[in-house]
């Protein structure tokens, strides 16, 4: 399954899921040995003999193709990919969590060989995937889609909704691409559900040789059903490209959109002009035995548990998520803080010559790919990176400018751990702090939690955060599933529940705190390099469910407290 809804009725599309031939590549001078078959999408760690393999591997699949122009869309390859068709290099991509696509021409109908060289190793070339408190898996972790392209096709369609003059205005930005060397003239029809959205410019669009054409239309609606947490109304936005005097069907693109607006006012967070509070979790895409490649059914289990917990928000710590999970958030009225890929990168590592290019590419691909999801209300960047020095501030500032150049409809934030030293609070709409009161500190009384928070709140008011809404973006404690003791030793479920209860009681008593996001929803695997020895079981155990989604004691505490706010 590519998305939770049909994206094309005209364009030919095929998902290349199922078994692919696979071989480890431990010596690039050797010819490839395809020793097994692996399921795509999936992580190679799902294979018992590859569970700890870090290095290169090659996937191969033979596909029958007729003559024509095609596009391959890879929704996620972890973490680096080189793609070849019939031995010819098509292109490469870095970063597991964003999609990339490659066009290619088939001149001979018949069987063709598709190969993908994948690498999940840690080295200087990889500035974002580094030894970390989450695992970098290996493989073609998300769907692969093959499309046949017409002479002109709809490359992108961006929908923005604005509350104005007593109703809603929909703005739709189209990007068409001429794949030929000759001038093409087309017509575009656009529907929202069955309602036509007309504009004279759609009737006659001319594209020159290989031209990409961008244009925007808009339509005002007096009465429309808003997208909200309680009523997440979605509309099908359908664009149809036609050509020639007979206006024959050429291409189409269907997406799902919602009318909603996110803003801040007087220190409050507003959804459709109504104040809201975020209550939820940080969630890694990690499920025991299936790694970071979550099928829709596994993602649906998480959605159901998050709703059972009376939560309304998920932070995609610390990278862009699988689109099908975001589709589910759209359908269920869950709010999303989506963030570009980075966790705890020092200023020295941010100066890796690959870092800014890789980080900016991730942002561009995240915003481009996920723009139309109404559930995404916040863009975040650079979790716990170097926001406490001027060089780091330059990078934060440039990345926020990059996002604003692509999307001004969402709020911006970043999660900091640079307590009392952060230099970037003035750059964002919402201040977000990661603070593990009572876990990483010895003291765990509520008085101490409150005192520690108030001290930081005062500092925030004086250093760029004055009057801004605050999210406690990470707080929590570790617990090993099944380790129970009335003595509340560290790592017991009882201790975790107590700490989360006390923290929530303090944070929920503060008006300026508009969000509380527990670290974390589920336990996740960490890298053996640099982390496994300091993380019991080689896992980050701060989930309120474990990696099998078995609830710990804290589950009931959180469910009770979230049901009351
Ligand atoms: C940081 C980090 C998380 C996780 C957490 C922890 O806040 O953002 O990814 O590592 O610490 O468990 O200590």
pLDDT band for 244, please (50, 70, 90 cuts).
Answer: confident
132 lines ligand 1 (CB under 6 A): no
What spacing in Å lies between the alpha carbon of 170 and ligand 1's midpoint?
Answer: 39
Name the nearest CA neighbour of 150 among 244, 241, 237: 241
- What is d(CA 183, CA 162) in angstroms, rounded to the nearest whole number? 35
Of 92 and 446, the one with more pLDDT: 92
Tens-digit pLDDT profile for residues 277-304: 999 999 999 999 899 999 999 999 999 9
Cβ-proximal residues to 560 (8 Å cutoff; 6+ apart), any chain: none
Across all residues in the chain, what is the average pLDDT?
Answer: 97
Tens-digit pLDDT profile for residues 24-41: 999 878 888 999 999 999
DSSP calls for 422-488 = -S-GGG-SSEEEE--TTTTSS---HHHHHHHHHHHHHHHHHTT-TT--EEEEEE---B-TT---TT-
- What is d(CA 214, CA 375) in angstroms, rounded to the nearest whole number? 25
User: Which atom of ligand 1 is found nearest the CA of 434?
Assistant: 7
pTM over 0.85: yes
- Strands 36-40 and 167-178 come out as unpaired
Give the CA count within 13 Å in the CB-facing half-sphere of 279.
22
540 lines ligand 1 (CB under 6 A): yes
- Strands 335-339 and 313-315 come out as parallel
493 lines ligand 1 (CB under 6 A): no
Q: Is the pLDDT of residue 491 over 90?
A: yes
User: Which atom of ligand 1 is found nearest the CA of 540?
Assistant: 12
> Averaged over 380-389, what is the pLDDT?
98
SS3 351: coil
Residue identified by tokens 């966790």 is 343
- What is d(CA 275, CA 261) in angstroms, rounded to the nearest whole number? 12
- What is d(CA 270, CA 498) in angstroms, rounded to the nearest whole number? 31
- Please tell me the predicted confidence (pLDDT) of residue 30: 81
Tens-digit pLDDT profile for residues 342-378: 999 999 999 999 999 999 999 999 999 999 999 999 9
18-40 as b/e: b if 16+ CB within 10 A: eebbbbbeeeeeeebeeebebbb
And the tokens for 405? 């150049």
User: Which atom of ligand 1 is found nearest the CA of 415?
Assistant: 8
And the tokens for 301? 């289990």
Whether 235 contacts 190, CB under 8 Å = no
In whole angstroms, how far apart are CA 149 and each of 9, 113, 153, 180, 423? Answer: 13, 19, 7, 11, 48
> Averaged over 379-399, what is the pLDDT?
98
343 lines ligand 1 (CB under 6 A): yes
And the tokens for 319? 């990278």
User: Which atom of ligand 1 is found nearest the CA of 134?
Assistant: 9
CA angle 334, 300, 48 (to 5 degrees): 135
338 lines ligand 1 (CB under 6 A): no
What spacing in Å lies between the alpha carbon of 542 and ligand 1's midpoint?
Answer: 9
What spacing in Å lies between the alpha carbon of 399 and ligand 1's midpoint?
Answer: 22
- Please tell me the predicted confidence (pLDDT) of residue 95: 98
- Please tell me the predicted confidence (pLDDT) of residue 109: 98
In whole angstroms, how far apart are CA 489 and each of 234, 407, 474, 484, 558? Answer: 47, 47, 22, 9, 20
297-320 as b/e: b if 16+ CB within 10 A: eebbbbbebbeebbbbbbbbbbbb
Question: Would you put residue 382 in left (φ > 0), alpha (ψ -120 to 50) or beta?
Answer: left
Name the nearest CA neighbour of 71 among 164, 177, 170: 177
- What is d(CA 5, CA 217) in angstroms, rounded to the nearest whole number? 24
The residues with which 242 forms a beta bridge, in sequence order, are: 187, 249
User: Which atom of ligand 1 is found nearest the CA of 317?
Assistant: 9
Chain center to CA of 81: 19
The residues with which 152 forms a beta bridge, in sequence order, are: 178
DSSP calls for 192-234 = ETTEE---GGGS-EEE-TT-EEEEEEEEEESS-PPB-SSSB--
535 lines ligand 1 (CB under 6 A): no
133 lines ligand 1 (CB under 6 A): yes
| Main-chain phi, psi angles of 267, to 5 degrees | 80, 5
- Please tell me the predicted confidence (pLDDT) of residue 441: 83
What spacing in Å lies between the alpha carbon of 133 and ligand 1's midpoint?
Answer: 7
- Please tell me the predicted confidence (pLDDT) of residue 442: 79
pLDDT band for 340, please (50, 70, 90 cuts).
Answer: very high
SS3 502: helix
- What is d(CA 70, CA 144) in angstroms, rounded to the nearest whole number? 13
> Averaged over 394-420, what is the pLDDT?
98
């Amino acid at each position: 399954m590519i998305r939770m809804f049909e994206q094309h009725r005209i364009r030919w599309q095929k998902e290349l899921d199922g078994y692919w031939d696979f071989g480890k590549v431990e010596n690039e001078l050797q010819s490839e040995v395809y020793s097994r078959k692996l399921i795509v999408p999936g992580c190679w760690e799902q294979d018992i003999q590859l569970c700890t393999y870090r290095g290169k591997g090659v996937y191969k699949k033979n596909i029958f193709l007729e003559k024509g122009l095609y596009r391959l869309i890879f929704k996620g390859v972890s973490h680096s990919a080189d793609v070849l068709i019939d031995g010819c290099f098509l292109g490469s991509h870095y970063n597991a969590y964003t999609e990339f696509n490659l066009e290619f021409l088939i001149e001979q109908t018949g069987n063709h060989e598709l190969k993908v060289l994948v690498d999940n190793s840690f080295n200087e070339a990889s500035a974002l995937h580094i030894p970390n408190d989450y695992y970098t898996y290996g493989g073609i972790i998300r769907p692969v889609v093959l499309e046949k392209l017409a002479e002109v096709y709809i490359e992108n369609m961006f929908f923005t909704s604005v509350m104005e003059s007593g109703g809603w205005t929909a703005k739709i930005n189209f990007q068409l691409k001429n794949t030929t060397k000759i001038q093409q003239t087309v017509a575009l029809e656009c529907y929202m559900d069955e309602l036509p959205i007309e504009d004279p410019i759609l009737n006659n669009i001319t594209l020159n040789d290989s031209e990409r054409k961008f244009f925007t239309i808009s339509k005002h609606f007096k009465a429309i059903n808003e997208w909200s947490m309680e009523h997440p109304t979605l509309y099908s936005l359908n664009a149809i490209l036609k050509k020639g005097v007979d206006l024959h069907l050429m291409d189409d693109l269907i997406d799902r959109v919602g009318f909603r607006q996110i803003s801040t006012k007087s220190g409050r967070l507003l959804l459709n002009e109504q104040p809201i509070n975020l209550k939820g979790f940080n969630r890694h895409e990690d499920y025991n035995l299936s790694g970071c490649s979550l099928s829709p059914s596994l993602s649906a289990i998480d959605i159901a548990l998050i709703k059972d917990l009376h939560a309304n928000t998920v932070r995609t710590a610390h990278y862009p998520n699988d689109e099908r999970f975001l589709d589910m958030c759209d359908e269920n009225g869950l709010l999303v803080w989506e963030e570009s890929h980075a966790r705890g990168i020092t200023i020295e590592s941010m100066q890796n010559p690959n870092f800014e290019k890789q980080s900016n590419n991730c942002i561009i691909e995240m915003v481009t790919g996920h723009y139309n999801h109404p559930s995404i209300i916040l863009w975040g960047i650079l979790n716990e990176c170097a926001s406490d020095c001027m060089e780091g501030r330059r990078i934060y500032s440039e990345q926020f400018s990059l996002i604003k150049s692509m999307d001004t409809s969402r709020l911006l934030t970043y999660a900091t751990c640079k307590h009392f030293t952060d230099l970037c609070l003035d750059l964002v709409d919402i201040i977000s702090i990661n603070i593990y009161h009572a876990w990483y500190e010895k003291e765990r009384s509520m008085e101490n939690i409150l005192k520690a928070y108030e001290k930081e709140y005062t500092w925030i008011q004086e250093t760029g955060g004055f009057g801004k809404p605050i999210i406690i973006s990470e707080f929590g404690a570790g617990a090993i599933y099944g380790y129970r003791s009335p003595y509340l030793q560290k790592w017991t479920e009882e201790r975790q529940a107590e700490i989360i209860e006390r923290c929530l009681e303090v944070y929920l008593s503060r008006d300026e705190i508009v969000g509380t996001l527990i670290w974390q929803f589920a336990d996740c695997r960490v890298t053996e390099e640099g982390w496994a020895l300091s993380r019991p079981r080689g896992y980050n155990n701060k989930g309120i469910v474990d990696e099998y989604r078995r609830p710990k004691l804290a589950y009931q505490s959180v469910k009770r407290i979230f049901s009351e706010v």
